[in-house]
C-alpha cells in the first residue's frame, strides 16, 4: 500500500528563537523533524 507523504514548514517555539523546521508527515503522523538550513 502506498503511503501518503507530505511536508509542513513550521517553527519550534520551545524558546524565543523560534527556529524554522520541516516536518515530514506519513499517513497523518509526523515521522521526521528537521531544522531549516536557511534559518539563522
Q: How confident is the model over 1-40, as pLDDT tens digits? A: 668 999 999 998 999 988 999 999 999 999 999 999 887 7
DSSP state of 38: T
In the three-class reduction of DSSP (H, G, I as helix; E, B as strand; rest coil), residue 29 is classed as: strand
Task: Please name the residue that has the C-alpha cell 515530514.
Answer: 24
Q: What is the pLDDT of residue 37?
A: 87
pTM of the model: 0.75
Q: CA 33, CA 24: separation in Å to the nearest integer?
A: 6
Burial of 25 (0-12, 13-18, 19+ CB in 10 A): middle
Amino acid at each position: 500500500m502506498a503511503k501518503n507523504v507530505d511536508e509542513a514548514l513550521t517553527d519550534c517555539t520551545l524558546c524565543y528563537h523560534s527556529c524554522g523546521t520541516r516536518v515530514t508527515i506519513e499517513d497523518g503522523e509526523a515521522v521526521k523533524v528537521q531544522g531549516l538550513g536557511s534559518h539563522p
